[in-house]
Amino acid sequence: MSEGTENYWKTRRSAAARLPALRCGDRDPWTCRCHRRPAPDADLTAAVAVHLIATTGGPGLGHDLAAVRALWRRGGPAARLAEQINSLGGAA
C-alpha cells in the first residue's frame, strides 16, 4: 500500500471515530454493511427471468447488471438464477 493510501485510511478511521455510532454500532457509514441493500429491482428482475424461462426457455436479454449482481449476492436459488442470466448474456 502506498504512503498516500495509508494516510488516507488513517484519516478516514480517525474521522469515523469522531462520528456518533449508527444503530448497528458501526461508526463509518461507508463500511457499514447494514446500509447495503439489494438493488430495488432485483425482485422484479428475478420474476421477469423466471417468467421468461417458463415461457420461452431463456431468461431474456437486457437485465440490469446491478440487479443481477444483487441476486447473486443473495445466494441459493437466486444466485443460480443470476448465473443463468449471466451465462446466456442476459445482463446488460
Q: What is the pTM of this model?
A: 0.54
d(Cα 39, Cα 46) in Å, to the nearest integer? 12
Residue 39 pLDDT > 60, yes or no? no
- Provide mean pLDDT across the span 8-28: 87
d(Cα 29, Cα 15) in Å, to the nearest integer? 11
Residue 48: name the closest of 66, 64, 69, 72 by CA: 64
pLDDT, greater one: 36 or 44: 44
* Domain chopping of the chain, boundaries: 1-36, 37-92
d(Cα 27, Cα 30) in Å, to the nearest integer? 9
pLDDT for position 78: 92
Q: How confident is the model at residue 80 (pLDDT cuts 50, 70, 90)?
A: very high
